[in-house]
Structure 1
């Protein structure tokens, strides 16, 4: 019923709190799914939390505000993803207020209203030995700074190949 990418997003979001991976998973799906804005809402929430956890209050606040604005336009689509759009909106408003008052990062739970979706995710977590609802590990440096510490050699090589192919003379 729900896309596999969405299930994977929810599992990362609620277990290891790997918001960078949440972003990567849904961005890829977003491109394949016709650039639907509902996915952008969820991507922006993950990115905002990633920035906030890293101490980038300004970037987090800007991204969370964008997510809230887009959520107001995508309420039906959010509901169709099994989330409670009204609770999510209130949750984002409260989180924004928290950030405006320089509150520290805090792990959140997305308000899943579809019990079948929640149970599916939790069953997958149980199979994999993951803990649903676990708070973010603030001592995991790789998790917190993943965009800087991950292996990007494949991305760099692809860019170099593209650059080289543009520089080749055509007949």
Structure 2
């Protein structure tokens, strides 16, 4: 399926995510998810955007919590789903859970690099 075959909000999610507009990406996909509450794939991607939003604020505890739940939502969609390399997303989430300390709630955002935290690259649809 080409990118044009996906719902507009789904495509907009990836466009906003690519621009670093994580909260906006979260919000636009949440609108679609509200009409398809059973769709755990959308829910997991919403949480990925929320992780990046938390990263902008240095909220390590929130990032860990969201990574654990996003992993549960997305793992069943491996290896690929709707243009997304879910295996890659799952590996990134698992890596976050290893790298982010359990005993730290918040750090200055620029310190996240000390833990090896990187932005998850998502496709442009």
**Structure 2 residue 60 is the aligned partner of structure 1 residue 57:** yes
How far off its partner does 1:34 sit?
A: 4.6
How far off its partner does 1:18 sit?
A: 1.2
Question: Paired residue for 2:8?
Answer: 4
Q: Secondary structure at the match of 2:118?
A: coil
Out of 14, 18, 21, the residue aligned to residue 18 of structure 2 is: 14
Q: Secondary structure at the match of 2:99?
A: helix
Structure 2, unmatched stretches of 5+, are 105-110
Give the total of aligned pairs: 110
Instruction: Return the TM-score normalized by structure 2.
Output: 0.76
> 2-side partners of 1:52 and 1:98: how far apart?
13
CA deviations over 1:55-94 (Å, ceiling 9, x no partner): 1110111001110122122337xx2311112122112212
Residues 37-116 of structure 1: pairs in structure 2 closer than 5 A = 37-75=40-78, 79-100=80-101, 104=112, 106-110=118-122, 112=123
CA RMSD of aligned residues (A): 2.1
Residues 48 and 66 in structure 2, CA contact (< 8 A), matched pair in contact too: yes
Q: Would you identify which runs of 4 or more consecutive aligned residues in structure 1 move more than 4 Å? A: none
Greater Cα radius of gyration, structure 1 or 2:
1
How far off its partner does 1:28 sit?
A: 0.5
Residues 9 and 22 in structure 1, CA contact (< 8 A), matched pair in contact too: yes
Instruction: Return the TM-score normalized by structure 1.
Output: 0.57
